[in-house]
Amino acid sequence: MSEAAHRPDPQDRGHEVRDIHAGKVALFGAALMLLLVVGAVVAWLTFTYFAGMPQEGEPLSPLHRPRELPPVPRLQVIPVKDLAEKRQAEDLRLGSYGWVDRDNGVVHIPIERAMDLVAAGQKE
């Protein structure tokens, strides 16, 4: 190919009028802006309408079932906490006086006192 075929003609300066029309681009931009404004207004009206409706609680689906507890015995949710509470209750019982059976006169005494009584009984 020759170099002359690639050189632009000095007389043809300016823009190409056959490829794009500035009026059509402006019309497209204006239509796009109008569409955005209309969409925003419709969204605002929709949100305003639904915000004014009374709240009826959580919507239920056809698959919704009320939460039911499993049958006894249930699994421990926090076993470490349950063990600590059990040991605290045992320590409280082992360190206090109280009735086991009031009708028959059976009581429980602190474990330290019981060990002292047993040790004193064995020495005799």
Q: Which amino acid is at 119?
A: A
Alpha-helical regions (H) of the chain = 22-51, 79-94, 111-123
Indicate the domain borders of the chain: 20-52, 79-123
- pLDDT averaged per 10 residues, the chain (length 124): 60 69 92 98 94 73 78 86 94 90 90 89 58
pTM, 2 dp: 0.36
The helix (H) or strand (E) run that includes residue 108 is strand 106-108
Distances (CA, A) of 107 to 11, 81, 113, 118: 121, 29, 13, 16
Query: How far is the C-alpha of 40 from the C-alpha of 101, rounded, in Å?
Result: 78
